[in-house]
Structure 1
């Protein structure tokens, strides 16, 4: 067993000690406690391995000892952190503050003394690394779509808050093949093949993935650092920087083409080279986990490739500033670009990156590009191409905000060449399709909520009917109607019951005085503006709201004197993120200054977007052509104020080349505000001698 590097002060944990730490059951959305044994101590890290890392009884992965973690592996992991990850990320990003455990709040909850997690100054700068078999969908149901991926590691600031230490978790699953520079290859072993097949695991078991967990740890360590310097950073920047950290420390080579055996799976997913279930290039950069399930890999791939594009154009100092920039998302990126003297806006940079993902490898091959700058549409850190045949590059209705539909003209097996095209016409929608009412009338709403109330596990009650938001991930569900406030003002009252992920998901009561263009969330006795630093922006912008577990029906009241004598829109809204799905939000017995508002029928209720459709800010259509030699051409299609654009076949050939065998359109709905969560409808029509090129009604 590994001996610790530094002298242990009296009371400090030593190798071989056992202690209770936190663990995550992502499947049920719960945090629990379990015992871990300290297996090694380095200069800046402690590795604690859970005493129980087994899969459920009967799982064939137990027979393969897939959660065994050896002392040699622990030693190697510690060495990599102390000698590689820690110095490089400290220099390029930031250094976490020491935490000595003196402010821990968990000990009293688990019956331990207040100083249970307290350490001396010698260990206060250590990162506590918990190695555990994280209980996620892969742990319980590996054959399901969600079970096809697993949580390789995570940083959760709540663990820090409870223990007053810097804590990270890395998965215990398959350290044999996922750690070290040269893990063995057992992918052809009949036992591994049989286990993967029995569980329907498409990617197989036993394949070597060098430094996979070290890379994950480098990724999560950036999150830990970011939580101190910019805790509310947008996910695509935060996750992108964390993936970039893997390349910073040398664990991931993003210059490999997506077809290479060791190519990064995140970027490969975004390029469309993973199985279709994982998604493809039709992906918003700025929306996170909007498609759910395993397609989150493509969210990572979009963010990772975008960061590598920024790094190749602006360098490491730029990335360091992006890590510490207090502004979030595209606004923060704008500030860093300005400081760097860049001539491109944040949104223009997104467009350039989107085009680079399609053009980079072709330009690398031929060294030629017409219609644009080779530097602008290539990246030294990538070797990118798009799998045009993957329907996940284009087939969801509409184009993503700040992403692109990658539409190769024609159809698989019958792609159009530039010489076959007679004309091209584009028309983008000026507004988004209104969302229908998704709230329902719950005729048997629960009488109370409990710790066991979750999405899909809501008990029927005996009280009056109520309006119910439903439940799920990435929701923004509203019901609104016009009401009149008397000249003397008055009070809004209603009964509410809620069960949400505390400080992440919220219910709201809102009013609008301008026809639904803007909304104000009302305060009641039980609303709060407190939120987790990582809460999504469209939640935070609407606070105050109801969060957590109300336990019972609460009578809520709000003063309407500010709206005296006016007709206003009254609304109830439920917004969630992509994480834990709790029971939802119920409302009944609504009264506006003495006038009852129905809560046992949906008649008269509309959605926010039905009363005020969301306008599309702008469209960008980038056209590319590539011939057999790799010679590439680029053109930004001119879009008029009515969001129309067109080219004749002759004009298109003049711009993209008469010999182009790949002709494609990259269609983007622009949203620099990052407030739009829907895809924008458009039509892209191509006239050719044979009708094989149209992309309409999207």
Structure 2
């Protein structure tokens, strides 16, 4: 495993010269349009770490929930969306670990039964075992403690499912994003939920859908391990998760990193613009840095860092001192950037 990832990082570095400041900006191809230039997931997690937003959201959700008739129906249910409104979904498939739900208002002609079967098969046989082996299993949620029950008079078993399967919602999110994880959606239904945009299923199911599914599944588990984790470290781990499962090299993000001037990606979430190439550059550096950590500090260190309850640089510093007494986070970043300069 380690040899394969070392080979990947060497391939990445061979793709591009990091001193090429005059290189042309990468063309905004389909890879750019689908999920790279509008990072709704990070934006949602930043908001959900803000106490004022959480307090304000309660009344908004209460008001929106009062407009919905939550009649118990095993194959038709309402779930909270990114705008704190409730969308209706139809159950399209179940497997050992997942339930796949399709938004009522999306074009269902673009989503075939064969695609649904492939999503469930790939998640059960590849994504779930690899991700949970490395990052740990998600907390169990079966719907019995749905926070929504506190706000409205509804059947307490509305979201109940005995095995606590992962809910995969396929919905019309936004033309420029592939998916997101929301802790609020999880809390109000008491279910583990990942939302994926429906339009990426048309032509890019292998690359866009499954990459996004892996990426968001790591966010879900990371939230269980460390709910207030700093954005840069959480995103770094999701980039690693994609490589872990599918051995992906996202050259587009790496290209942006090489051509942008910006502060360290550890500022991600502190100075955050969700619709600029800086976001892509942050992702590019995060992608390279996590590969560097794996290559130089090993699987055990990275696995422990992903699960640690402390945040960001504080967590990295603490664990480095435990694993390697003569180094710290600042030295690691310094050596990483020296490596980039060499290449």
1:35-434, aligned counterparts within 5 Å?
Answer: 35-53=88-106, 68-106=110-148, 109=151, 112-120=154-162, 123-124=163-164, 126-135=165-174, 138=175, 150-180=176-206, 211-253=207-249, 263-272=250-259, 280-289=260-269, 290=271, 292=273, 293-294=275-276, 295-341=278-324, 343-360=326-343
Q: Label 1:134 to 1:234 Cα distance change in 2 as closer, same or farther (>3 A).
A: same
Deviation at 1:109, TM superposition (A): 5.0
Could you give the per-residue CA deviations for residues 464-485 of structure 1, whole angstroms, max 9, x where no partner exists? xxxxxxxxxxxxxxxxxxxxxx
Deviation at 1:86, TM superposition (A): 0.8
User: Is the strand fraction higher in 1 or 2?
Assistant: 1
Q: Label 1:265 to 1:90 Cα distance change in 2 as closer, same or farther (>3 A).
A: same
User: Is the helix fraction higher in 1 or 2?
Assistant: 2
Task: Answer yes or no: is the 8 Å Cα contact 2:144–2:160 preserved in 1.
Answer: yes
Task: Answer yes or no: is the 8 Å Cα contact 2:200–2:209 preserved in 1.
Answer: no
Q: Which has the larger radius of gyration?
A: 1
Deviation at 1:281, TM superposition (A): 4.7
What root-mean-square deviation, in Å, do the aligned CA atoms of Structure 1 and Structure 2 show? 2.2
CA distance in 2, matches of 1:81, 1:250: 12
Task: Answer yes or no: is the 8 Å Cα contact 1:252–1:264 preserved in 2.
Answer: no
Indicate the SS of the match to 2:199. coil
Task: Answer yes or no: is the 8 Å Cα contact 1:215–1:251 preserved in 2.
Answer: no
Q: Label 1:291 to 1:165 Cα distance change in 2 as closer, same or farther (>3 A).
A: closer
Q: TM-score w.r.t. structure 1 length?
A: 0.37
Deviation at 1:107, TM superposition (A): 5.1
Q: TM-score w.r.t. structure 2 length?
A: 0.73
Task: Answer yes or no: is the 8 Å Cα contact 1:92–1:317 preserved in 2.
Answer: no
Task: Answer yes or no: is the 8 Å Cα contact 1:178–1:212 preserved in 2.
Answer: yes
CA distance in 2, matches of 1:337, 1:117: 42
Q: Which residue of 2 aligns with 1:32?
A: 85
Indicate the SS of the match to 1:173. helix
Q: Label 1:80 to 1:12 Cα distance change in 2 as closer, same or farther (>3 A).
A: farther
CA distance in 2, matches of 1:169, 1:264: 25
Could you give the per-residue CA deviations for residues 337-378 of structure 1, whole angstroms, max 9, x where no partner exists? 222226432111112222323323xxxxxxxxxxxxxxxxxx
CA distance in 2, matches of 1:214, 1:110: 36
Indicate the SS of the match to 1:339. helix
Task: Answer yes or no: is the 8 Å Cα contact 1:214–1:251 preserved in 2.
Answer: no
CA distance in 1, matches of 2:209, 2:247: 10
Indicate the SS of the match to 1:174. helix
Indicate the SS of the match to 2:110. coil
CA distance in 2, matches of 1:357, 1:178: 32
CA distance in 1, matches of 2:315, 2:106: 41
